[in-house]
């Protein structure tokens, strides 16, 4: 952080009361502005810290949603894959039919294992 108090003292000692005093007044206003900006920056850093602390629950929900998306995508990929509709043995029963929707139910209810109803 800029030591505006030291700069003010130097300006007061050297320029006020001299022809350069006008420039010193302008400099004083600039220093006031710097101080105000420094205070605003400090406030924003405090707010940022609070926001970061509050993100924990949001991150946890986001992770859970990403896991659900992955589960659903896997189920959709399974049912979209044309090879799963081809006969799997001599009985001409397609894998998707043999599955009876277990993969879809498991994707929609993560606590349910495939094969459970």
Whether residue 79 contacts residue 103, with contact meaning beta carbons closer than 8 Å, is answered with yes
How confident is residue 6, by pLDDT bands cut at 50, 70 and 90?
confident
CA distances from residue 6 to 9, 39, 59, 83 in whole angstroms, order as listed: 5, 18, 45, 78
pLDDT at 116: 54
Q: Is pLDDT above 80 for 32?
A: yes
Q: Comparing 8 with 70, which gets the higher pLDDT?
A: 70
- Tokens representing 8? 């003010």
Query: Per the structure, how many domains does the chain have?
Result: 1
pLDDT at 15: 58
User: For residue 87, which phi and psi values (nearest 5 degrees)?
Assistant: -60, 140
**Average pLDDT over the chain, rounded to whole?**
76
User: Domain limits at 23?
Assistant: 4-108
Whether residue 31 contacts residue 5, with contact meaning beta carbons closer than 8 Å, is answered with no
Q: What is the pLDDT of residues 48-103, one digit of tens each?
A: 888 877 777 888 888 899 998 998 998 888 888 878 777 766 666 677 777 778 88
pLDDT at 117: 47
pTM (predicted TM-score):
0.45
Q: What is the pLDDT of residues 42-52, one digit of tens each?
A: 999 988 888 87
Distance between CA atoms of residues 111 and 68, nearest Å: 12
Distance between CA atoms of residues 17 and 102, nearest Å: 89
Distance between CA atoms of residues 52 and 95, nearest Å: 48
């Amino acid at each position: 952080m800029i030591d505006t108090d030291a700069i003010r003292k130097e300006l007061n000692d050297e320029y006020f009361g001299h022809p350069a005093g006008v420039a010193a007044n302008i400099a004083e206003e600039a220093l006031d502005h710097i101080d105000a900006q420094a205070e605003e920056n400090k406030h924003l850093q405090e707010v940022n810290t609070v926001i970061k602390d509050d993100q924990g629950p949001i991150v946890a929900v986001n992770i859970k949603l990403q896991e659900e998306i992955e589960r659903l995508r896997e189920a959709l990929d399974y049912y979209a894959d044309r090879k799963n509709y081809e006969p799997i043995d001599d009985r001409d029963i397609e894998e998707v039919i043999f599955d009876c929707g277990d993969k879809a139910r498991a994707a929609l209810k993560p606590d349910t294992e495939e094969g459970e109803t």
